[in-house]
Amino acid sequence: MDLNIAVLIDGDNIPSAYVKEMMEEIAKYGNPTIKRIYGDWTNPRLGKWKNVLLENAITPIQQYGYTVGKNATDSAMIIDAMDILYSGKVNGFCLVSSDSDFTRLATRLREAGMQVFGIGEKKTPNPFIVACDKFIYIEILKDQSEEDATETTPQKSASKSNVDKITAKEIKLIASTIEDVAEDDGWAFLGDVGSLLQKKQPNFDSRNYGFQKLTPLIGAITNFEVERREDSRGRNKLIYVKIKEKKHARSNK
């Protein structure tokens, strides 16, 4: 079933520079039928947003800051989200903010059966991240956009620096996930691995480590094996992964 997604953007908390890339990313997961951004549009600080709203069909919602030091945008977004939830017009939400105040909202929407995506900066507190089904760092959208603009070859192989970004913590997470879904022979279907990784760690994204997809990321780690198999009809390649067996040296007695 295609997702109809309500995109709610905290204009006070998210930079406007890569809104185009952000909307393209959201479109990968469903149809953004409602697109709203909240903020005090009398504030010159939000002037950069005004230039991109029409281009991306995003509706600005005016919210005055009634009290100094308090973010009225949060309340407006939360009230609108609940109204949209009960309208029955969408089956998914994308909350665009780096503010932990939306943690309870994300949790409540998921309790109601909604699929919840989050987009924010890497400074986003972990409680909000884990409250979402999937969380995407806006920085990787920036990096990807700049990389696409400078790319001169059809496909760029992963550099050693990308592999070095993968720590023992990520390797352990991938290994335990492979074990969780593997068959008796140790091989696991990559699609199942990716789905469970997302559930375990909503902000897990191969692009955080410089890889466009999960397959080359796992393939670059020496701890794992990757195997491509044909499906029963011989039309598609199915990708399976396995933890490499450790070779034990024989001791001389």
CATH of the domain at 227: 3.30.420.610
174 and 116 belong to one structural domain: no
Q: Which CATH number characterizes residue 98's domain?
A: 3.40.50.1010
Return the minimum-mean-pLDDT range out of 168-172, 205-209, 232-236, 245-249: 245-249
In the chain, the percentage of residues whose pLDDT exceeds 70 is 84
Work out the angle at residue 169's Cα, subtended by the Cα atoms of residues 166 and 173, and round it to the nearest 5 degrees. 100
Q: Which residues contact 114 (CB under 8 A, 6 or more apart)?
A: 85, 90, 91, 92, 93
25 and 81 belong to one structural domain: yes
97 and 157 belong to one structural domain: no
pLDDT, averaged across the chain: 85
185 and 128 belong to one structural domain: no
Domains identified in the chain, total number: 2
81 and 199 belong to one structural domain: no
54 and 170 belong to one structural domain: no
pLDDT in tens, 39-55: 888 888 888 888 788 88
- pTM, two decimals, is 0.82
Distance CA 106, CA 117 (A): 9
- CA 41 centroid distance within chain: 28
Domain that holds residue 38: 4-146
Specify whether the backbone of 182 is left (phi greater than 0), alpha (psi in -120 to 50) or beta: beta
- When pLDDT is cut at 50, 70 and 90, the band that residue 62 belongs to is confident
Candidates 1, 24, 216; CA nearest to 119 is: 24
Q: Which residues pair with 8 in a beta bridge?
A: 36, 95
91 and 194 belong to one structural domain: no
Distance CA 174, CA 169 (A): 9
Distance CA 40, CA 46 (A): 8
Picking from 146, 167, 195, the residue at the C-terminal end of a domain is 146
